[in-house]
Structure 1
Amino acid sequence: MDKPRKLKRAAYLTLVWLGCQACADVAPWERGVMAKDIMSLDPNPNLNHIRDHIFTSREAAQGGRSGSGGGCGCN
């Protein structure tokens, strides 16, 4: 094997090894700040539901959701 090929192989194996390290499980007590509710994708589901309800009642031409009523804001 020539030197550039060995170097490429070593770099590839290093990347594979680093990728395997990223697949480790994280225990709940090790999560720290990331386990807080504010860090979730939807930190306030009630507010999101209200905003979604307002949007569906205002948007008369929206499809694919269960919104009812017209664009006037009434249900």
Structure 2
Amino acid sequence: MTTRPLILRLSLLFALLAGLAGCASVEPWEKARFADYTMREDRDPLEDAMTSHIHFSREATHGGGGLGGGGCGCN
């Protein structure tokens, strides 16, 4: 019964360290990399068309990619 609290503590420590590993500071001159064309989601028109097709095929939805609203008719 003494191993359970140890495992819990180690799990919490691991989760904390994993969460802290994702934190990083970005210098102002490094931010240009994130604004690059290759980082944009809509840089490939074929991929956009295929993603739209997948959403239409699986969810029977089409369009409305840039508009608000949840489909209930209220904006």
Larger RCO of the pair (alpha carbons < 8 Å, separation 6+): 1
Q: TM exceeds 0.5?
A: no
TM-score (norm 2): 0.38
TM-score by length of 1: 0.38
